[in-house]
Amino acid sequence: MTLASTGALLFSAQPALASGTIPESSPSTPANSLAETYSNTYIQAPTYQASAEEIKKWPWLDSSLTPEARAELLVNAMNEDQLIHMLHGYSSLTGIRLKPGGPPSIGYIRPIPELRVPALVMSDGPSGLRNGEPATALPAPITQAASFNRELAQEYGKTIAQDSADRGQDLIFGPGFNLARNPQAGRTFEYFGEDPFLSGTIAAHNVRGLQSAGIMATLKHYVANNQETNRTQNNSQMDQRTLHEIYEMPFRYAIRESQPAAVMCAYNKINGDTACGSKKTLVDDLRGLHKFGGFVVTDYPAAWSPLDIKNGLNVELPGGFWTSKAKITRAVAKGQMTWDEIRGRVRETLTQMFRFGLFDHPWDEKLNDRQRDIKPVDAERGNQVAQRAVEEGAVLLKNDGILPLGKTFEGKPVKRVLVVGSGAKKPMSGGGSSNVTSPVSSDSAIDALAKRLGKDVQIDYKSQWDPVGIKKAAAKADYVLVFATQISTELIDRPNLDFLPHMNNAVKAAAAGNPNTVVVVQAGGPVLMPWLNDVRGVLDVFYPGQAAGEATVRLLTGEVNPSGRLPQTFPATNSQFPANTRAQFPGAKLGFEARYTEGIMMGYRWYTTMGQKPAFPFGYGLSYTTFEVSEPTLAASSGQADQPVTVSVQVKNTGERAGAVAPQVYVKKPSVRGIQTPVRELVAFDKVTLQPGESKTLTMKVDPMQLSVWNDSTKQYQVTPGKYRFVSGLNVEEVKGNATYTVR
């Protein structure tokens, strides 16, 4: 008997929110709000109306019409050359200007002045505006996921958008949120960890922030783009359940909850088809199943055929190699594609351009483009968010009573402190297209510390390359701070999870000289810490961005109480993780065929189901206070498959400082008819600040989408009738309760 024949409820993603306008002040989504319709209404009501004379000539300039109606008028007025023009951009990975005086960018579609079509100006990226010019360098995007705070992710996205608006941008290539299938993956720092629900939720809020400030967001990289090794050739090979339940799920969720303007299709193949040329991936799944209503751009350069357009691609980047006039007209002449199909793709792009008000500006005759107000970014505004993001997202991994640090240590005034490692002077950042080249501001932890400790305290500094000097200096200090840095970057997967040997030696030397050693980790993802038992404290700040110094020192001194949680498991060894065979990662056939044979048992789903104990579990993070979280209680003990489940937990601050806590609710779905389900799957979380002694009851709605499994016979997500068991806790391993809910 198949799942379909059990009468289980089948459902597809509903088109998202009723209005395309997400007010700036909109509260972050209550735990799992259910959005209703994908809307292409205006993101911000048009404030500019073209003259009657202009509208007569170019009727699509009439801003009283809907974006869809305007796109329809325009696409029907376009000749073949103009249609082809809209199928590709002009780009440079280091930055390019439309014209002198025009906006900087990483790529753009040129304007069509005779039709009054403005340029579509695009830049990277997920950690801040990147196009070779100054902008706010936010901490690594993974920090948003580690904050477990929807509102922070929204603020982060909005900051990128405000910088982008200042610099005359239309679209940002971000957020990126491919799942961290393997902890060695080079771009882990750019993404949102290993859980589809956390990842999709953070992405949705990041998009809301971006789009609330009028900038188009691009979800990337769709889909199953989980490694850098052979990234443009690799074939991600997996069953349909894994593809839908794990790798497409965050996109599905973010599309429904935030209506992004764009999606960037990935370099890799999925089960043999290129991501940017697969009808199944881009039309059947993305637009059909997940109800995406925007346009698709290629990663640079991920198109492989003019027919990619027919199969769901809208814009080829960086140039028009496959979508040149010759190739497109030849494909049409051969009967492989029709002008109507091309018109359909161009209409999808234009609808978003209208939705975001790109046409509703006076025309600049000199630039031959719309007018843009280009000014320097507001450095102060961005810096505040950059700092706050580190303060919310840094994860305290160990504290053997040493932190917070201050002017006194173990009852005596501090006289001398040793700081080790270049990360204390210049923080490490991740490499590749998300790296903001010229941060508008910078600071350093060593300066921020000196400011706190005052001139009576001597701060010594040693480089990480000098173990002998470190050990000697450590012995003379009251306490030691080692900044342990580890690079990771786009294009290269890490060979293992180790720090480089000199870095481990630096920590060991410090700890040998002085047991009162605290390590500040600046790394893009999981690292092994062979010295963990020798040090008294570990704070992971990922790649902390331009406000690293202040934020790190505020966390170390307790001016801010750490509240980040790991969005990704930290394995105990270099092989303790799913996808740890060569055939799985980087793949069989010399790394060209990644076999996802671990299936849905990815990340903590694998650890909890296989009984593996990692170094630090998903959801883990310490605080300078203590919290207690109750067992979950359910508002009802049974319901229909399409109903959300209401879960409550009580959290109490049982310590002596105020602090923020992120309670998590996990479910065990029923395993029926051979469909194995993981022991635990995250279905709800929240974040709340509590004063000492304070307690609060948090009520969260579990979205049926999170309870569903993929049924490959019906090609639908479905919530299986049966018993669902809910537990709650402050990380995936330490959970309590067994609240049972029956789906009828």
Closest contact distance (angstroms) between CB of 187 and ligand BGC is 8
- Contact between 17 and 689 under an 8 Å Cβ cutoff? The reply is no
Give the C-alpha separation, 263 to 693, whole Å: 46
Query: Of these residues, 62, 163, 195, 299, which one is catalytic?
Result: 299
Q: Smaller CB distance to ligand BGC: residue 63 or 433?
A: 433
Three-state secondary structure call for residue 324: coil
**For residue 567, what are its two tokens?**
């969005």
Q: Smaller CB distance to ligand BGC: residue 268 or 522?
A: 268
Residue 313 to residues 215, 287, 331, Cα–Cα distance (Å): 21, 11, 15
Closest contact distance (angstroms) between CB of 191 and ligand BGC is 11
C-alpha Rg value of the chain to the nearest Å: 26
Closest contact distance (angstroms) between CB of 431 and ligand BGC is 12
Q: Smaller CB distance to ligand BGC: residue 268 or 561?
A: 268
Beta strands in 266-375 (DSSP E): 269-270, 273-274, 295-298, 363-364, 369-370
Q: Smaller CB distance to ligand BGC: residue 156 or 607?
A: 156
Q: Smaller CB distance to ligand BGC: residue 421 or 586?
A: 586
Helices in 514-643 by DSSP H: which ranges?
548-557, 588-591, 604-610
Burial of 288 (0-12, 13-18, 19+ CB in 10 A): middle
Ramachandran angles phi, psi of 534, nearest 5°? -90, -10
Closest contact distance (angstroms) between CB of 228 and ligand BGC is 9
Give the C-alpha separation, 315 to 311, whole Å: 12
Active site residue 299: yes
| Residue ranges in contact with ligand BGC by CB under 6 A | 93, 106, 124-125, 173, 220, 299-300, 433
Give the C-alpha separation, 353 to 347, whole Å: 10
342: left (phi over 0), alpha (psi -120 to 50) or beta: alpha
Give the C-alpha separation, 59 to 49, whole Å: 12
Q: Specify which residues 616 forms β-bridges with.
A: 570
Closest contact distance (angstroms) between CB of 299 and ligand BGC is 5
Burial of 481 (0-12, 13-18, 19+ CB in 10 A): buried
Q: Smaller CB distance to ligand BGC: residue 177 or 618?
A: 177
Closest contact distance (angstroms) between CB of 494 and ligand BGC is 17
Closest contact distance (angstroms) between CB of 726 and ligand BGC is 37
Ramachandran angles phi, psi of 167, nearest 5°? -100, 15
Q: Smaller CB distance to ligand BGC: residue 300 or 577?
A: 300
- Contact between 350 and 75 under an 8 Å Cβ cutoff? The reply is yes
Give the C-alpha separation, 408 to 387, whole Å: 25
Closest contact distance (angstroms) between CB of 247 and ligand BGC is 17
Q: Smaller CB distance to ligand BGC: residue 300 or 542?
A: 300
- Contact between 197 and 706 under an 8 Å Cβ cutoff? The reply is yes
- For the annotated catalytic residues, the residue numbers are 299
